[in-house]
Amino acid sequence: MVQLQQPSQPAVIYPDSDGKPMADNTKQFRWIVVIQQNLEWLFADNPNVFVAGDLLWYPVEGDNKRRAAPDVMVVLGRPKGDRGSYKQWEEENLPPQVVFEILSPGNTKGEMNRKLLFYDRFGVDEYYVYDPDKNELSGWLRREGFLDLIEPMANWVSPLLQIRFDLSTDELQIFRPDGQRFLSYVEIAQRAEEERQRAEEERQRAEEERQRAEEERQRAEEERQRAEEERQRAEEERQRAETECQRAEQAEARAKLLAERLREMGIDPDQL
């Protein structure tokens, strides 16, 4: 009896791109970059925190239709490194725990509702949506197995990331656990340049202080040399005076000796 072989199933392809742009406008793009880069900076020393922007996430093996591309996502417990997409079954089945979405005018309410359902279903613990045009921030936190709306969001601190959201100004400000504000690349570059200039000014001041100290040392050495020369001159004067004194004493002794000899010869030296 001939047994028919079952045809092999074609391998599932998981595209690295969904064909959609990362951002619809410069404002949305700027916020995606600011959040993603600052989170990278925040966890730079932790090799087991993966941060990505606009990366396709496939939660279910064998299903390349079920996917999402969060503007920013954070996976705690997975190593850093480049990926074409985030295939959850290859990552110890760890979903992104924190997800950020930045709204643009092109985002519809239905689209955002579908994203909320997706993140709720596939294990996101914290979900944040920021509308830069309205300066509105919404957040959801997993409670009792479901993403529950966070109220209020003002000064909310992320339980997992320990970053604080401040809505008291015209634009969202996010603060690191150490109190430093999330900065744009331009602000980071400006601060780096300011630090470089301050360091250069400190170097120049230190060099000026070194030069002044060297000049003071040289002046002190010159004063020491002058004092030594004065001491030597004084010593020479003392020696000359002592020599003159000795000569005078010798001359006086010779005169006395001559006077005695003259008296012995019967000559009064005082009469000469």
Examine the domain organization and report whether 138 and 150 are in the same domain.
Answer: yes
Predicted local confidence at residue 131, as pLDDT: 96
Examine the domain organization and report whether 103 and 164 are in the same domain.
Answer: yes
Identify the sign of the CA torsion 20, 15, 93, 55. negative
Can you name the residues that pair with 80 across neighbouring β-strands? none
Examine the domain organization and report whether 103 and 194 are in the same domain.
Answer: no
> Does 8 score more than 60 pLDDT?
no
Mean pLDDT of 58-83: 96
What's the whole-number average pLDDT of the chain?
90
Range of the domain at 166: 26-182
Look at residue 47 and tell me if it is in a domain.
yes
> Does 30 score more than 90 pLDDT?
yes
Could you read off the pLDDT of 202-260 as tens digits, one per residue? 898 989 999 999 999 999 999 999 989 989 998 998 998 888 888 888 888 888 887 88
Q: How many domains does the chain have?
A: 2
Look at residue 116 and tell me if it is in a domain.
yes
Examine the domain organization and report whether 38 and 155 are in the same domain.
Answer: yes
Give the contacts of 86 (CB within 8 A, at least 6 positions apart). Answer: 52, 55, 56, 57, 58, 73, 75, 96
Could you tell me where the beta strands, DSSP code E, fall in the chain? Answer: 49-53, 57-58, 72-76, 86-87, 98-102, 126-131, 136-143, 146-149, 164-166, 173-175
Examine the domain organization and report whether 188 and 176 are in the same domain.
Answer: no
Examine the domain organization and report whether 50 and 110 are in the same domain.
Answer: yes
Could you read off the pLDDT of 162-198 as tens digits, one per residue? 999 999 999 999 999 999 999 988 887 777 777 788 8
Distance CA 64, CA 86 (A): 12
Examine the domain organization and report whether 136 and 229 are in the same domain.
Answer: no
Predicted local confidence at residue 92, as pLDDT: 97
Mean pLDDT of 136-157: 96
Look at residue 222 and tell me if it is in a domain.
yes
Rg (CA), the chain: 45
Examine the domain organization and report whether 197 and 107 are in the same domain.
Answer: no
CATH of the domain at 83: 3.90.1570.10
Q: How confident is the model at residue 65 (pLDDT cuts 50, 70, 90)?
A: very high
Mean pLDDT of 20-49: 91
Can you name the residues that pair with 87 across neighbouring β-strands? 58
Identify the domain boundary among 182, 210, 242.
182
Question: Which range (61-75, 142-156, 201-215) has the least confidence?
Answer: 201-215
> Does 158 score more than 80 pLDDT?
yes
Q: How confident is the model at residue 7 (pLDDT cuts 50, 70, 90)?
A: low
Examine the domain organization and report whether 245 and 232 are in the same domain.
Answer: yes
Look at residue 14 and tell me if it is in a domain.
no
Predicted local confidence at residue 3, as pLDDT: 55
121 compared with 266, residue with greater pLDDT = 121
Examine the domain organization and report whether 168 and 104 are in the same domain.
Answer: yes
Prediction pTM value:
0.70
Predicted local confidence at residue 4, as pLDDT: 52
Predicted local confidence at residue 256, as pLDDT: 83
> Does 2 score more than 60 pLDDT?
no
Identify the domain boundary among 116, 147, 182.
182
Look at residue 267 and tell me if it is in a domain.
no
Look at residue 5 and tell me if it is in a domain.
no
> Does 1 score more than 60 pLDDT?
no
Examine the domain organization and report whether 133 and 66 are in the same domain.
Answer: yes
Identify the domain boundary among 161, 182, 203.
182
Predicted local confidence at residue 263, as pLDDT: 83
Examine the domain organization and report whether 200 and 147 are in the same domain.
Answer: no
Look at residue 13 and tell me if it is in a domain.
no
